[in-house]
């Protein structure tokens, strides 16, 4: 009798092992979640979707969509789960910020559209003094609760759109050559309050006019003037009639100053180096004095006759640095 009971018990266990998974598979349903931005229409595809069961235990965590109804229609891109019937909790995160949540009682396959608290924010970086003039090729850093969440390069037109930004407070910093030239705080509270606006960040930059003269105060007519910031070459401009102009030089937004090195080269030869701290508001002019001399050359032949229509080559350390056309023997 005990043997018969044992056989019955073993059979019951085997049936449970086989039939329960079959029953669960027969009761499994498909849940497709579509996430939208705050306008309720635009697809939001950069979120992190977390799925929890009725006990709050995480059973799935997707960092990117895994379903596409049509590759040509981003509105059909979403997150698909195969689940048994029951209650589930859905949470959506962006930059570790909770931007959307919902609960669903799954009794059959269904689609769920979840609107999240995110928006796209157009940003433009401009000159503080001339807000109509863009400041491009700068680094834009975004902070939330003092934590850096993103860092991007702004295009030459000074424009960048921050996509899928959660509602809340932010600090935007603009850097040029690792110098902070602007800091802007803003708070995003609603898609509809920000959907047609843009964030304009005014940057501290200024034009630097340099007058180049020699040791006697005479205008230097030619040469290349290099500007270095933080030991990196910022720009190199040609000296024309003793003048050189550097555009949109970065200025520290707190001190209002910049340490800049100016190196003058004539015929490729360094003739002066200046490192100075410049306090700038709109623009600033400084004078660079260089050690240069005039060289007068008269060409004659062996019979002491003036040489005309010739070319004189000037070399330094066996390298040609300049050639001149000689007219009537004088240079």
Q: Given 96, 116, 136, which residue is the final one in a domain?
A: 116
Whether 109 and 194 share a structural domain: no
DSSP state of 211: E
Whether 74 and 151 share a structural domain: no
- Cβ contact 208:276 at 8 Å: no
Domain tally for the chain?
A: 4
- Print the domain residue range for 328: 295-331
Tally of CB atoms within 10 A around 210: 21
Q: Domain holding 280: CATH number? A: 2.60.40.10
Whether 106 and 18 share a structural domain: yes
3-state SS assignment for residue 17? helix
Burial grade of 51 (CB within 10 A; 0-12, 13-18, 19 or more): buried
Whether 47 and 91 share a structural domain: yes
Six-digit token string for 308: 């005309």
- The pLDDT value recorded for residue 16 is 45
Whether 231 and 182 share a structural domain: no
Whether 279 and 242 share a structural domain: yes
- Interatomic CA distance for residues 113 and 79, integer angstroms: 11
Whether 72 and 32 share a structural domain: yes
Burial grade of 32 (CB within 10 A; 0-12, 13-18, 19 or more): middle
Whether 195 and 272 share a structural domain: no
Q: Would you write out the chain's pLDDT as a tens digit for each of its 331 residues?
A: 555 554 445 445 544 444 444 444 456 899 999 999 999 999 999 999 999 999 999 999 999 999 998 878 889 999 999 999 999 999 999 999 999 999 999 999 999 999 999 999 999 999 998 999 999 999 999 999 999 999 999 999 999 999 999 999 999 999 999 999 999 999 988 776 544 468 999 999 988 888 888 888 888 888 899 999 988 899 999 999 889 999 999 999 888 888 888 888 887 878 777 777 777 655 566 666 565 555 566 666 667 777 677 776 666 666 655 676 766 655 5
- The pLDDT value recorded for residue 322 is 65
Which helix (H) or strand (E) segment holds residue 231: the answer is none
Six-digit token string for 63: 């960092």
Q: Given 151, 174, 203, which residue is the final one in a domain?
A: 203
Whether 18 and 110 share a structural domain: yes
Q: Domain holding 123: CATH number? A: 2.60.40.1120
Six-digit token string for 327: 């007219």
Tally of CB atoms within 10 A around 259: 14
Q: Given 64, 82, 116, which residue is the final one in a domain?
A: 116
């Amino acid at each position: 009798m005990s043997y018969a009971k044992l056989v019955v018990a073993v059979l019951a266990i085997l049936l449970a092992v086989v039939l329960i998974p079959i029953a669960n598979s027969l009761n499994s349903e498909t849940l497709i979640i579509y996430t939208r931005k705050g306008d309720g229409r635009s697809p939001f595809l950069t979120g992190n979707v977390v799925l929890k069961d009725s006990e709050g235990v995480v059973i799935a965590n997707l960092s990117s969509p895994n379903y596409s109804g049509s590759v040509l229609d981003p509105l059909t891109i979403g997150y698909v789960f195969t689940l048994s019937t029951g209650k589930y909790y859905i949470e959506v995160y962006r930059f570790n910020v909770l931007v959307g949540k919902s609960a669903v009682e799954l009794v059959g396959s269904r689609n769920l559209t979840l609107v999240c608290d995110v928006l796209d924010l157009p940003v433009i970086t401009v000159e503080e003094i001339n807000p109509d003039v863009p400041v491009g090729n700068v680094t834009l850093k975004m902070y939330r609760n003092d934590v850096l969440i993103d860092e991007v390069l702004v295009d030459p037109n000074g424009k960048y759109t921050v996509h899928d930004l959660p509602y809340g407070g932010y600090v935007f910093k603009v850097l040029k050559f690792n110098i902070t030239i602007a800091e802007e705080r803003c708070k995003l509270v609603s898609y509809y309050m920000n959907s047609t606006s843009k964030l304009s960040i005014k940057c501290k930059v200024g034009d630097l006019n340099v007058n180049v003269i020699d040791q006697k105060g005479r205008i230097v007519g030619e040469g290349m003037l290099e500007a270095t910031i933080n030991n990196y070459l910022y720009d190199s401009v040609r000296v024309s009639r003793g003048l050189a102009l550097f555009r949109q030089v970065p200025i520290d937004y707190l001190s209002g100053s910049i340490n800049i090195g100016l190196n003058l080269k004539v015929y490729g030869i360094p003739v002066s180096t200046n490192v100075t701290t410049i306090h700038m508001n709109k623009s600033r002019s400084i004078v660079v004095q260089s050690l240069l001399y005039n060289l007068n050359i008269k060409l004659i032949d062996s019979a002491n006759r003036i040489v005309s229509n010739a070319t004189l080559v000037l070399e330094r350390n066996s390298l040609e640095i300049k050639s001149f056309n000689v007219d009537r023997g004088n240079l």
